[in-house]
């Protein structure tokens, strides 16, 4: 007996001694300051990962991460085209909340920039392609090419990224004018508004938020695609709106920034004044922060090693934002390697920070000599082979268990649509659709009509949409009983059932909704009247007139009407001229403009393919699309809030030397094009330091844009381009418009 006991004791000791050990990060966060009431924790670090730029979570709480290890490995930007990137799965095997193991899911990737776990697989971007792979035992299988033109070869700072599933079951991107959806195994690609530069997020209602380097928070006042359904209309209100005019930052130290040499960029203490590399916005919907943090928008500011907090305010026809504080930030560090580039809400409701942890994050094509020199002096270019993920959690909330949604029944998934964490609600919605859980339809319909749970109500509605289980009568009931947000979604979804048969019911419903006098409902009714007027103009045109008069001072309502009226444009245009109150209105001018664009076959650039087809064989066209179109659009009409139009610009039609100077040396505002003043905070960097562009390449770009966007095709020979390289501005950096006019007089 004693021998037997000794045997088992020996075996137990052997088993215990064989317990695996886990290497976890032991990195000090003393150089980091986070807002009172929150803790900052290191979740993963090198050597588990290097240069992370995007993450997503699976239902087990594991982190899937895209590593863009080829970005700026030195000050010359060598090795960008090498297959050095990967997508990894980070795991917490000892379940202590810290990642301790990494497995490679995909390797030998060239600059992977975005990923999303959707439809039971992984959607990921590797320039120029968008791929989807199914997952079996953590291995990729059945790879499908979703889009071969997702991110054309060019500067990685200006290529599509983001890949975010929204409430409406569509996947949206930053720096892209397309959205994607997979239905019955078939991928769909549709035009949408081009949004932002790096990173994208959405609120509970389904509005989208994004930014660009010099504007920390942009967004849409209205649901996606409500203002771009008319192919011959370009909205100026409601989308791509600057939500906060305040671009101030409050760094803890004098970090190195790209244009620190310019007057006003730094203050007297050498601290950055306004953002210059804002990215990675996140609408926090995790349910684990204090109540006043719900739907706040956090923004990454990697150039000065911090994260901002903005507070949103919602109104019927718009969203406004303001910085939470003056003089401080939510999270800041004096560690110049701390480069927050993306944010995410986790299954546990906490906020996760993707820290690329790179010394130099300005792409070499736009790296000023000033920053290049400072980076070399500080040896920032030696901060390589790092990468971290941080977690921010509220001290007042205990850790919550992470539900494994993949193991839940359909009815448990329906219940999860009421979860306080938006990540859980979003993923439960996706699983219900992907698993085709039609046995849950009665529960989903009951939830969609339950006004006591407004968030679950909207999620249930879009599960029903994904399961093709909606009807006009059901949406009518929801619109009549729901609050303005739920009713607005019902109005949007009801368009699918627009028909002669449903006109009488729609007429009565819309009259009832108009009597509620809710600005939000009126806005979405404005977007849909033109769709219904296709079936009965006598019924719905009077509603259009009433809405136009009621909101004559709010252009977003007028644009909403025109957006839905492509099929009745000509008749509507002629009718408006017969009303004294409307013939000189914004609606009348917008309708006339849209009719003229349609007559001249001049669609909104997001629908245009004509230019790309006509000039696809020319070097200038290829370079323009790779380098310039992301800001000026492929049609040369510019992008609202980002870059001015090239069409009609005097720099394109007459002043070619000035155009050469702009392309070579860059341009800083303010700038007036066609009588419109463009924001002085926006700057176009010059291309003269781009080692991949020859004098002939720049000459080809000029030849292309003058041919495509003016009536007088001209060009500058490569010899002239070489000469203009040495014609510097007064400070040796970007030109101002005043200096360009001085050059004209010489």
At 442, list the tokens.
Answer: 């009665």
Q: Is residue 91 part of a domain?
A: yes
As a whole number, the mean pLDDT across the chain is: 89
Q: Which of 48-52, 325-329, 340-344, 601-605 has the lowest mean pLDDT?
A: 601-605
Region 222-232 average pLDDT? 97
Q: Is residue 638 predicted with pLDDT exceeding 80?
A: no
Has residue 149 been placed in a domain? Answer: yes
Per-residue model confidence (pLDDT) at position 631: 74
3-state class of 643 per DSSP?
Answer: strand
User: How does residue 581 score in pLDDT terms, banded at 50, 70 and 90?
Assistant: confident
Instruction: Look up the CATH number of the domain holding residue 657.
Output: 1.10.760.10
Question: pLDDT tens digits, residue range 649-668?
Answer: 766 666 778 887 888 887 87
Q: Please check whether residue 342 is in contact with residue 53, taking contact to mean a CB–CB distance below 8 angstroms.
A: yes
Task: Pick the most confident of 24-33, 216-225, 364-373.
Answer: 216-225
Q: Which of 85-94, 229-238, 640-649 has the lowest mean pLDDT?
A: 640-649
Tokens of 19: 């317990």
Number of CB atoms found within 10 A of residue 396's CB: 10
Say if residue 582 is in the same domain as residue 499.
Answer: yes
Residue 616 has pLDDT above 50, yes or no: no
**What pLDDT is recorded for position 741?**
72
CA atoms of 67 and 51, how far apart (whole Å): 5
Of 362, 394, 426, which one is at a domain's C-terminal end?
A: 394
Instruction: Report the distance separating Cα 334 and Cα 504, nearest Å.
Output: 65
pLDDT at 613: 38
**DSSP code at position 326:** S
**What pLDDT score does 731 carry?**
74
Who has greater pLDDT, 719 or 212?
Answer: 212
Single out the residue in 394, 426, 443 at which a domain terminates.
394
CA 469, CA 445: separation in Å to the nearest integer? 9
Residue 506 above 50 pLDDT? yes
Rounded average pLDDT over 54-79 = 93
Distance between CA 455 and CA 453 in Å, rounded? 6
User: What separation in angstroms does the CA of 409 have from each of 153, 414, 428, 437, 438?
Assistant: 44, 9, 11, 9, 12
Is 705 or 209 the better-scoring residue by pLDDT? 209
Q: How confident is the model at residue 9 (pLDDT cuts 50, 70, 90)?
A: very low
32-41, 218-227, 392-401, 458-467 — which is least confidently predicted? 392-401
pLDDT at 660: 79
CB 555 within 8 A of CB 523: no
| Domain at 145, CATH number | 2.120.10.30
Residue 144 CB neighbours (<10 A):
14
Is residue 265 domain-resident? Answer: yes
pLDDT band for position 363 (cuts 50, 70, 90): confident
pLDDT of residue 593: 95
In terms of domains, do 141 and 105 share one? yes
In this structure, the strands spanning 388-394 and 351-355 are antiparallel
Specify whether 351 is located in the same domain as 419: no
The Cα–Cα gap between 149 and 634 comes to: 14
Hey, is 182 helix, strand or coil? strand
Query: Is 31 within the bounds of a domain?
Result: no
pLDDT tens digits for range 507-540: 999 999 999 999 999 999 999 999 999 999 999 9
Shared domain check, 476 and 460: no
Last residue of a domain, one of 369, 394, 419: 394
- pLDDT at residue 714 tops 80: no
pLDDT of residue 14: 35
pLDDT at residue 7, rounded to an integer: 36
Question: Of 136-150, 195-209, 528-542, 599-613, where does mean pLDDT reach its minimum?
Answer: 599-613
Higher pLDDT: 437 or 501? It is 501
- For residue 391, the number of C-alpha atoms closer than 13 Å in the C-beta half-sphere is 21
Do 571 and 672 reside in the same domain of the chain?
no
- Co-location of 455 and 490 in the same domain: no
Cβ within 8 Å of residue 147, ≥6 positions away: 129, 130, 178, 180, 187, 189
Pair of tokens at residue 220? 């849409």
DSSP-derived letter for residue 566 is: G
Same domain, 235 and 143: yes
Structural domain contains residue 306: yes
> Which has the closest alpha carbon to 38: 241, 329, 254, 242?
329
- Rounded to 5°, the CA angle 571-577-580 comes to 140
Q: Are residues 326 and 282 in the same domain?
A: yes
With beta carbons less than 8 A apart as the criterion, state whether 650 and 249 touch.
Answer: no
Residue at 92 is within a domain: yes
Which residues, 6 or more positions from 75, have their beta carbon under 8 angstroms from its beta carbon?
360, 364, 367, 372, 375, 376, 381
Q: Residue 285 half-sphere exposure, CB side, CA atoms within 13 Å?
A: 19
Which SS3 state, helix, strand or coil, does residue 392 take?
strand
Q: Which range has the worst mean pLDDT, 36-50, 298-312, 568-582? A: 568-582
Q: What is the model's pLDDT at position 1?
A: 41
pLDDT band at residue 139 under the 50/70/90 scheme: very high
Query: What gap in Å lies between CA 49 and CA 88, rounded to an integer?
Result: 8
Please give the backbone phi and psi of residue 30, each rounded to the nearest 5 degrees, phi first. Answer: -65, -25
Total domain count for the chain?
A: 4
Q: Which of 440, 490, 494, 504 is nearest to 467 (CA)?
A: 440
- Write the CA distances from 91 to 58, 100, 104, 172, integer angstroms: 11, 6, 11, 27
Q: Are residues 453 and 359 in the same domain?
A: no
More confident of the two residues 401 and 714: 401
d(CA 87, CA 65): 6
Q: Is 396 helix (H, G, I), strand (E, B) or coil?
A: coil
- Are residues 384 and 301 part of one domain? yes
Confidence (pLDDT) at 15: 34
Q: Nearest CA to 223 among 199, 206, 211?
A: 206
Higher pLDDT, 99 or 708: 99
Query: Rounded mean pLDDT of 569-586?
Result: 89
Whose CA is closest to 83, among 56, 103, 62, 104?
104
Question: What pLDDT, on a 0 to 100 scale, did the predictor assign at position 617?
Answer: 38
Which helix or strand (DSSP H or E) is residue 10 part of? helix 2-17
pLDDT the model gives residue 22: 63
315: helix, strand or coil: strand
Measured in degrees and rounded to the nearest 5, phi and psi for residue 356 equal: -60, -25
Q: What is the DSSP letter of 39?
A: E
SS (H, E, C) 244-263: CCCCECCCCCCCCCCCCCCC
Which residues, 6+ apart, have CB-to-CB distance to 52 below 8 Å? Answer: 65, 66, 67, 68, 354, 355, 356, 387, 388, 389
Residue 422, pLDDT above cutoff 60: yes
Q: Is 457 among the domain residues?
A: yes
In three-state secondary structure terms, 714 is: coil
Report the alpha-carbon distance of residue 443 to residue 433 in Å, rounded: 14
When comparing pLDDT for 722 and 502, which is higher?
502
User: Where does 228-384 show beta strands of DSSP type E?
Assistant: 241-242, 279-283, 297-301, 306-315, 318-323, 331-333, 340-345, 351-355
Domain membership of residue 419 as a residue range: 408-465
Share of the chain above pLDDT 90, in %: 68
How far is it, in rounded angstroms, from Cα 259 to Cα 326?
23
Task: Give the whole-angstrom CA distance, residue 40 versus residue 446.
Answer: 41
Q: Does residue 441 sit in the same domain as residue 479?
A: no
Average pLDDT over residues 337-346: 98
* 641: DSSP letter: T
Beta partners for residue 684, in sequence order: 667
Residue 143 has pLDDT above 70, yes or no: yes
CA-derived radius of gyration, the chain: 27
The per-residue pLDDT for 526 is 98
Give the 3-state secondary structure of residue 53: strand
For residue 131 the two structure tokens come to: 């791929």
Strand duo 297-301 + 186-191: pairing: unpaired
Query: Across residues 385-395, what is the average pLDDT?
Result: 97
State whether 326 and 380 are in the same domain. yes
Q: What pLDDT is attached to residue 654? A: 64
Give pLDDT, residue 640. 65
Lowest mean pLDDT among 308-317, 434-443, 671-680: 671-680
Quick check: 99 and 48 in contact, CB under 8 A? yes
Q: Using one digit for the tens of pLDDT, what is the confidence trace for 251-286? A: 999 999 987 888 889 999 999 999 999 999 999 999
Range of lowest pLDDT (75-79, 181-185, 564-568): 75-79
**Quick check: is 576 in a domain?**
yes
Q: Which of 357, 304, 296 is nearest to 322 (CA)?
A: 296
- Rounded to an integer, the average pLDDT of 581-603 is 93
Show the tokens assigned to 689: 């330091």
User: Which ranges in 577-665 belong to alpha helices (H)?
Assistant: 586-599, 610-614, 619-623, 629-632, 650-653, 656-665
**In sequence order, what are the residues at sequence separation of 6 or more whose Cβ sits closer than 8 angstroms to the Cβ of residue 398?**
none
Of 413, 180, 420, give the one whose Cα is nearest residue 294.
420
């Amino acid at each position: 007996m004693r021998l037997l006991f000794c045997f088992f004791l020996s075996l137990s000791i052997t088993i215990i001694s064989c317990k695996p050990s886990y290497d976890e990060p032991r990195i000090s966060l003393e150089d980091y300051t986070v807002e009172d009431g929150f803790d900052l924790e290191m979740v993963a670090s090198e050597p588990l990962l290097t240069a992370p730029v995007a993450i997503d979570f699976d239902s087990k709480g594991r982190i899937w991460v895209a590593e863009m290890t080829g970005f700026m490995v030195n000050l010359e930007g060598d090795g960008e085209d090498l297959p050095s990137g990967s997508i990894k799965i980070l795991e917490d095997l000892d379940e202590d909340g810290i990642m301790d193991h990494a497995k490679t899911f995909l390797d030998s990737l060239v600059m992977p920039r975005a990923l999303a776990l959707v439809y039971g697989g992984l959607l990921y971007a590797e320039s120029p392609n968008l791929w989807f792979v199914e997952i079996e035992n953590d291995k990729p299988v059945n790879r499908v090419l979703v889009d071969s033109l997702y991110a054309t070869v060019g500067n990685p700072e200006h290529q599509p990224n983001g890949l975010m599933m929204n409430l409406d079951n569509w996947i949206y991107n930053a720096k892209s004018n397309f959205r994607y959806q997979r239905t019955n195994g078939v991928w769909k690609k549709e035009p949408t508004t081009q949004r932002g530069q790096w990173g994208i997020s959405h609120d509970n209602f389904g509005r989208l938020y994004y930014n660009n380097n010099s504007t920390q928070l942009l967004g849409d006042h209205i649901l996606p695609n409500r203002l771009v359904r008319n192919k011959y209309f370009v909205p100026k209100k409601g989308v791509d709106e600057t939500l906060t005019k305040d671009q101030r930052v409050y760094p803890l130290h004098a970090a190195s920034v790209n244009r620190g040499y310019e007057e006003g960029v730094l203050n007297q203490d050498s601290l950055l004044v306004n953002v210059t590399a804002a990215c990675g916005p996140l609408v926090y919907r995790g349910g684990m922060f204090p109540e006043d943090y719900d739907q706040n928008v956090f923004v990454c500011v990697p150039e000065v090693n911090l994260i901002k907090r903005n507070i949103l305010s919602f109104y019927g026809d718009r969203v406004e934002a303001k910085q939470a504080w003056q003089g401080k930030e939510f999270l800041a560090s004096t560690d110049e390697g701390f480069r927050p580039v993306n944010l995410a809400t986790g299954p546990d409701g906490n906020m996760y920070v993707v820290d690329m942890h790179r010394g130099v994050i300005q792409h070499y094509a736009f790296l000023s000599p000033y920053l290049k020199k400072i980076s070399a002096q500080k040896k920032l270019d030696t901060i390589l082979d790092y990468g971290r993920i941080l977690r921010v959690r509220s001290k007042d909330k205990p850790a919550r268990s992470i539900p494994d949604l993949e193991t839940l029944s359909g009815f448990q998934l329906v219940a999860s649509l009421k979860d306080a964490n938006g990540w859980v609600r979003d993923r439960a919605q996706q699983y219900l659709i992907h698993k085709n859980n039609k046995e849950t339809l009665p529960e989903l319909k009951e939830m969609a009509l339950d006004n006591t749970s407004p968030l679950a109500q909207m999620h249930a509605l879009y599960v029903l949409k994904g399961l093709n289980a909606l009807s006009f009568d059901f949406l009518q009931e929801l619109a009549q009983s729901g609050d303005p947000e739920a009713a607005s979604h019902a109005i949007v979804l009801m368009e699918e059932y627009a028909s002669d048969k449903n006109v009488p019911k729609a007429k009565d419903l819309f009259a009832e909704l108009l009597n509620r006098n809710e600005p939000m409902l009126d806005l979405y009714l404005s977007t849909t009247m033109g769709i219904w007027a296709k079936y009965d103009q006598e019924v719905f045109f009077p509603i259009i007139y009433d809405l136009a008069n009621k909101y004559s001072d709010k252009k977003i309502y007028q644009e909403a009407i025109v957006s839905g009226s492509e099929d009745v444009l000509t008749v509507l245009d002629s009718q408006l001229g017969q009303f004294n109150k409307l013939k000189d209105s914004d609606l009348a001018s917008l309708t006339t403009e849209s009719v003229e664009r349609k007559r001249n076959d001049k669609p909104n650039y997001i629908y245009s393919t004509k230019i790309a087809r006509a000039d696809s064989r020319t070097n200038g066209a290829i370079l323009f699309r790779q380098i310039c179109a992301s800001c000026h659009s492929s049609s040369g009409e510019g992008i609202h809030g980002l870059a001015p139009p090239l069409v009609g610009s005097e720099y394109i039609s007459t002043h070619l030397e000035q155009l050469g100077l702009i392309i070579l040396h860059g341009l800083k505002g303010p700038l007036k094009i066609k009588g419109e003043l463009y924001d002085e905070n926006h700057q176009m960097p010059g291309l003269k330091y781009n080692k991949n562009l020859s004098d002939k390449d720049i000459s080809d770009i000029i030849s292309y844009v003058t041919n495509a966007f003016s009536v007088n095709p001209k060009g500058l020979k490569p010899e002239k381009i070489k000469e203009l390289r040495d014609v510097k501005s007064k400070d040796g950096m970007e030109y101002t418009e005043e200096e360009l006019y001085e050059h004209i007089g010489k």
